[in-house]
Structure 1
Amino acid sequence: MKYKTLPFAALTLFLFSCKNTDNDYDASGTFEATEVIVSAEANGQILAFNVNEGDVLKENQLVGSIDSTQLHFNKMQLSQSKKAILSGRPDVEVQIASLVEELKNAITDKKRIANLVAGDVASQKQLDDANTRIAILKSKMEALKNSLNTTTSSLNEQGTTVNAQVAQINDQLKKCKIINPINGTVLVKYSNAFEMTMIGRPLYKIADVKNMILRAYVTSSQLSQIKLNQKVKVFVDFGKDAKKEYAGTISWISDKSEFTPKTIQTKDERANSVYAVKIAVPNDGFLKIGMYGEIKI
């Protein structure tokens, strides 16, 4: 999805404060809104799409879905593969059980031979052979444990790899849900249910029209009179002498000057260097994108 802020009419008009009458304004411009183009994050058929132009949507609202059947099948296959891999892990205790018993018997025989040697009934060689047998059994048991643990570790690693693949599938399944990103009003609808879509294809455009932005321009002499978060008065003409006042807040001031927009009629006015500013204005429902507004600092 892409974020952008665009006006829907001529960019701005510029008026100087002449201080002659109370009807003069410091600057004027047009209203904008933060727009978001919501795009598909998966390939496939749009199974559901509950979006219409003019709809007011909430942030994180589910508005549609893209076919995810094949992804579900892939996830099932990976789950079965993981079960098959982990089922091959050896049971260490069972595998070494016979060696454990043999070692117990060898230790018992050694004790018996040691008693016989003490009574001069058995030779020292017999005792040495018993000790050698015990050492060999212990070595075999340790080697088998190491081998079985290595096999178990390898299979666990393979299972972890499958887990990563499942996580990837889960992320793709999540992207098959069309989630609205911001609170706002749908401006344009680009796709419909049952159409095929692909990653990156625009689905609809939405704008936060409850928080409007008035973009205007001030001269370098006026720049010293304004600062961020400063409160200003915004006036909007609704026709038939119906003018309404709004409370605005300066939210952004450009750090670079530019020439006055060409909408200014005279050559001398266009030659002036000005600075763009943005005034945040809460919308009571009457403000529209592209509508003109005037400010008093």
Structure 2
Amino acid sequence: MKKATIILSTFILLIACKQKDNFDASGNFEADEVIVSAQQTGELISYSVQEGALLKANATVGQIDVKIAELQKEQAEATISALQQKTSNTSEQDLLVKKQLAVQEAQLDQQLHERIRTANLVKADAATRKQLDDIDAAIVQLKKQIAVTQQQLFVNNSNNSTQNRSILSEKAPLEKTAAQFQEQINKGRIINPIDGTVLVNYALKGEMQVVGKPLYKIANISTLDLRAYITGTQLPQIKLNQHVKVRIDQGEKGYKEYPGTITWISNKSEFSPKTIQTKDERANLVYAIKIKVKNDGYLKIGMYGETIF
């Protein structure tokens, strides 16, 4: 009776071991983890990140003190405004010159009409030749005055433009400086890059931060990738987008199964990792694959999993 009990126990153990090893590949679950770092140096004046929290992409989760950058930007903008006050406006001066030019042109027009009338009178012996010569001389004088006035108007505008260009040439560099300070201000805001769950938090409100210092680690764990390894003889059994079964060990409850999809197959072999079991443990070279699995909350990064093709 004792011998029969031992044989039965051994048989059950062999069946259990056979069922346990009945899988095609195994590996660990992983996800793309993003470490969010400070992009500015200063005190962390606000911060709302907690481990396990769900964060939305582009959400503002913190603020680094950027008061110095704000003051520097205001100083640059004030200098730009002061440049506008330094520029000269010739509109009033131009208006006086233009009025003078209009008077001279009106006088010239009047003299031209007077010359026509005087010329007719000279033909009729009703006016002297000297009167006509005097009008011609006046016309020549007015034309010279008009030319001088026009030249004065041109010179005023040219000098004013040159002076203003010299002053406003400082505006573009100042605008670039203000833009640089604005970029520093923008980098003081901590923007969450992806939808995901905070895995690790490294910072606390009130701490001093420096550029590149990690603040928190986040990953989208709504779906995980099972990175498994197969032998060369198993390659013909799989293809991209193939649906497979993935399971995790639940102890006495057995296995919990999930549907999975093969999303990546390595195009080159590698030596089998010591922590990974394959169907043929004698194989030295294996191929890595990734199987995407929707997470129901039980799957964790680093958890061991098995797949059945």
| TM superposition score normalised by structure 2 | 0.81
3-state SS in 1 of match to 2:170:
helix
Cα separation, 1, equivalents of 2:50 and 2:21: 41
Corresponding position: 1:26 with 2:38: no
**Whose Rg is larger?**
2
Specify which of 132, 152, 155 is matched with residue 140 of structure 1.
Answer: 152
3-state SS in 2 of match to 1:227:
coil
> Counterpart of 1:41?
39
> In the TM superposition, what are the counterparts of 1:1-297 in structure 2 within 5 Å?
24-118=22-116, 119=118, 121=131, 122-263=134-275, 269=281, 271-297=283-309
Code of the aligned partner of 1:176: G
Code of the aligned partner of 1:194: G
3-state SS in 1 of match to 2:221:
strand
Cα deviation digits, residues 230-265 of structure 1 (max 9, x gap): 211111112113311111111211111112222368
Code of the aligned partner of 1:158: E
Q: Could you tell me how far 1:162 is from its partner in structure 2?
A: 2.9
3-state SS in 1 of match to 2:73:
helix
3-state SS in 2 of match to 1:28:
strand
Code of the aligned partner of 1:27: A
Q: Could you tell me how far 1:63 is from its partner in structure 2?
A: 1.5
Cα separation, 1, equivalents of 2:90 and 2:55: 58
Q: 5+ unaligned residues in a row in structure 1: which ranges?
A: 1-19
Larger proportion of strand: 1
Code of the aligned partner of 2:29: F
Q: 5+ unaligned residues in a row in structure 2: which ranges?
A: 1-17, 119-128
> Counterpart of 2:123?
none
Code of the aligned partner of 1:76: E
Cα deviation digits, residues 127-173 of structure 1 (max 9, x gap): 22211221221122123223333444554553343333222222211
3-state SS in 1 of match to 2:253:
coil
Code of the aligned partner of 2:33: E
Q: Could you tell me how far 1:190 is from its partner in structure 2?
A: 1.6
